[in-house]
Amino acid sequence: MHQRWIFALLGRLPGPEELVGNDISTLRNLGRASVEFIKHDMDSDNEEDSAGYWMILAAIAERWGQRDLWEEARSTLSRKVVAG
């Protein structure tokens, strides 16, 4: 439920040209937190609950041009797969 609520709020934000540095920083933190929730779901074998977090990450990475978050997610999650 929280995932849908956050995703809906993201839809109300202006585009990247209208946000300032602190706004982008907050979005990036939200993206990183989403990756941590995905990692937690992988740890608990509850991966189907992570779809909403993937959508939040995708929105931030693509809508606001923070595509390097994809690489951070890949790196973080691949360490989990290798270690797990």
CA distance 5 to 76: 25
Q: Where are the chain's structural domains?
A: 21-83
The pLDDT tens digits of the residues spanning 48-84 come to 789 999 999 999 999 999 999 999 999 999 976 666 5
- Average pLDDT of 33-38? 96
Place of tokens 């994809």: 70
pLDDT of 15:
94
CA distance 34 to 52: 9
- Average pLDDT of 7-13? 95
Residue 57 vs residues 10, 22, 39, 65, 83: alpha-carbon distances, Å: 11, 18, 13, 11, 23
Share of the chain above pLDDT 70, in %: 94
